[in-house]
Amino acid sequence: MKFAERLAAHITPEWNSQYIKYDEMKEFLYQYEQSAPVQDDEHLLQRYFARADEIFFQFCDKELIKINTFFAEKLAEAQRKFESLKSELKENSNLMNRKKDRFRSSKLTLIEEDDEDDESKAKLLGDTTLGTPQTVGSPSRASMRNRKQSVISNVLNNTGAQTITQRLIEKNRERQLKNKQFRKEHDLKLAFSEFYLSLILLQNYQTLNFTGFRKILKKHDKIFKTDRGSEWHKAYVETAPFYTTKKVDTFINDVVNLFTQYLENGDRERAMKRLRVPPFEEKQSPWTTFRLGLHIGMILVLIPVVLMLIFFTYATFHELSFNWKIAIKLYRSPLFIIMHIFFIGINSYGWSRSGVNHVLIFEIDPRNHLTYQQLLEMGSFLGTFWFVSLIMFIISAYYNLDYYIFPLALVVFLTVFLINPIPRFQFSSRAWVMNTLWKILAAPFYPVAFAHFWLADQLTSFEFLFIDIQFFICWFLFQAQWAPLKNFFPDSPCIPSNNRDLSITFNLISLFLMCLPSLLRFLQCLRRFKDTSHAFPHLANALKYATTFFDVAALSLKYHFSYMYKSDWESPFFYIWLIVKFIATCYKLVWDLKMDWGFFDKNAGENKFLREVIVYSSKNYYYFAIVQNVLLRFLWLVRLYDIGLRGETYKDLVTTMLGFLEVFRRFIWNFFRLENEHLNNCGQFRAVRDISISPIQMTDLSVIEKMMDDEDGLVNRQHTLNMNSKQNNNNLTITKRFINKHPNLMSITRRFNTFNPTEKELE
């Protein structure tokens, strides 16, 4: 492998701009070689190559300064992070020792109390049972034995109750402390593993840049037939701080030793397994590839089978007045979910090939996550199951068997596949999805990360899914042949003959479910505004999702009063809905292109209508995405075509087709949304997850960011605050107090430029 290919394959994408520009330097050398004069004038050639050397070494010097500066910044960031982790580890170790001492002393106290209780019981029992000898007329042996048992019971109830209660309290407290300690150690292990990964990336940064300089200067000497390149390498590169500094290696050894000793009880093999660095390129399992091909092949066979069954049985179903509307509603949502999983697998492949670090963006474990082939395999496997279920449904309906059991079995299988607690079938990934879904449902009560609002955005493309879930539950409770509530509610609301016949409750539930995905995103935006105090973009984004509420309200008014007009075109509520829908669509379209994708940047340069930096190889991909997004956003206009003269089955077919196209639109949207987020990470040089052990309040961080904009510090590019000197000094004092409380804030803000660790502190 050539070095240029190796460099491209092993660089950290988020640091791409900070590596040596090897390709540009190589192209520079080749151009000067090809443009060299062919004259025999030796003096002219010397002047030509001397001028080329001057320009080339100026470029090398500029690259060297860039690399040294970036390395020094990352090294200082690593030092601060390491000190923070050591402090947390020391605190955790001291806490463990205090807990052990406390439990040891409490156990000794309990033992002493038990001994005292035993002595008091023995004395009391002795006084009670070993009294004066029996005389004539005294109680019998049986009565004395009963009296003895009664006294013992009273003693145990009165004397031992406090001890037993203390033991229960101590055990409960110990259990709670163990759980808390387990979570603390888990967070520490995660933080150390991410820090170790960042050190390996920094070490790799050193190696690749040093090798790049050596290779390009060697090529320079070969082309120009001189040794000035090797001399420059010895004089500047071999003495450069990014190469001579060995602190990264020291940090790596210290992390391994601390992790082994304090977090893995001296088990180095287990520690290295936990700290292992994931490969630069995802390696696919041959068995996964085989199963993926097998499932796709089965689907390709099953598709024509389904089409043939529908073709040959359609006449029979028509004679039997078979309701295809029910089949469409029961089967389309599972199909779209399966398609979406398959599309995300294709997304993952495109992100990986283009260097978009989706693993970091979603903040999932880089050592244990689904590859694109595993996602494709999952989608194709579930797709095979869907086709088999549909075939069994059609055959059973043809022979008038109990055919509704098959869509029910399909949905139950998909649900169990997702929520089953068995540690198999990609358990960690399923748990991640369930945890993310829970945080979406509880949006106002949890901080919102990228994965949370990204998955919630996916749900907004499945608004019809929630309506189908309502129909599914209603159908199998009230309408199916073996529905448990069929006899209690003969007039089922599931399949009304006219929309006006729907019950008020059913209508309200439908309206709420249509708004639910947008409501969740609306609440997430409000939570982000609360955490950051930034009205833009969070409140503006919340307004975008609020337009869905107005859209649904106008649509419900149109349907509610439709009986008053011969057609929709005569209803004023129809035009109200049309205006609201158009405004909402334009709002969402502009947000897609400008905010989510970052297009139409005024600094786009030659990337017209796009942005300054693009990741994917061809601009045509971007222009295609813009055009298809505009068309598919306005595809709801199809519903206006002769909609009042068509039957319910036609409406469901249109809804199904629009649902498929919306899933496809979201599939394209995902490519460019994550590309934009990746470029944001590149702008911050963020290559690993930031794991904070000490919780940092978002309000504190917001206050700190505002203080960083003061004149005493580095001025922010977006805001400039003019405050008097006394106020600035007070803010600076408060800022330092925050920094002392949370040392790892230095790696987050990277704006507070007054921290300058001494050599003793660095040691």
pLDDT of residue 422: 87
**Mean pLDDT, residues 12-18 taken together:** 84
Mean pLDDT of the chain: 79
The share of the chain scoring above pLDDT 70, in percent, equals 72
Residue 9 has pLDDT above 60, yes or no: yes
pLDDT of residue 280: 60
Decide if 584 contacts 550 (C-beta within 8 A).
yes
Residue 625 has pLDDT above 90, yes or no: yes
* pLDDT band of 496, cuts 50, 70, 90: low
Q: What is the pLDDT of residues 47-77, one digit of tens each?
A: 887 888 888 999 999 999 999 999 999 999 9
d(CA 708, CA 706): 5
- Terminal C-alpha separation, the chain: 39
pLDDT of residue 161: 53
pLDDT of residue 281: 65
Residue 124 has pLDDT above 70, yes or no: no
Residues 6 or more apart whose Cβ sits within 8 Å of residue 211 = 3
The share of the chain scoring above pLDDT 90, in percent, equals 38
pLDDT of residue 407: 94
pLDDT of residue 578: 93
Q: What is the pLDDT of residues 140-180, one digit of tens each?
A: 555 555 655 555 555 445 555 556 666 666 666 666 566 56
pLDDT of residue 320: 64
**Mean pLDDT, residues 283-305 taken together:** 93
* pLDDT band of 415, cuts 50, 70, 90: very high
* More confidently predicted of 146 and 726: 146
Peptide bond into 13 cis (omega under 30): no
CA angle 404, 483, 464 (to 5 degrees): 65
Domain borders along the chain are 21-97+178-275, 287-354+372-441, 698-762
pLDDT of residue 686: 72
pLDDT of residue 345: 96
* pLDDT band of 712, cuts 50, 70, 90: very low
**Mean pLDDT, residues 567-580 taken together:** 89
The DSSP output letter for 279 is P
Residue 714 has pLDDT above 70, yes or no: no
pLDDT of residue 313: 84
pLDDT of residue 554: 92
Q: Give the CA count within 13 Å in the CB-facing half-sphere of 427.
A: 5
Residue 527 has pLDDT above 80, yes or no: yes
Q: What is the pLDDT of residues 360-373, one digit of tens each?
A: 899 888 878 899 99
* More confidently predicted of 739 and 99: 99
Q: What is the pLDDT of residues 328-376, one digit of tens each?
A: 889 999 999 999 999 999 999 999 888 898 988 998 888 788 999 999 9
User: What are the tokens at 405?
Assistant: 């059991």
* pLDDT band of 306, cuts 50, 70, 90: very high
Radius of gyration over every alpha carbon of the chain, rounded to an integer in angstroms: 35
pLDDT of residue 87: 87
* pLDDT band of 667, cuts 50, 70, 90: very high
Q: How far is CA 171 from CA 85, 107, 384, 467, 546, in A?
A: 30, 11, 51, 49, 50
CB atoms closer than 10 angstroms to residue 582? 14
Q: What is the pLDDT of residues 236-258, one digit of tens each?
A: 999 999 999 999 999 999 999 98
d(CA 78, CA 203): 12
Residue 473 has pLDDT above 80, yes or no: yes
The gap from C-alpha 395 to its chain's centroid, in whole angstroms, comes to 42
pLDDT of residue 504: 67
Cα torsion angle, 350, 355, 361, 365, sign: positive
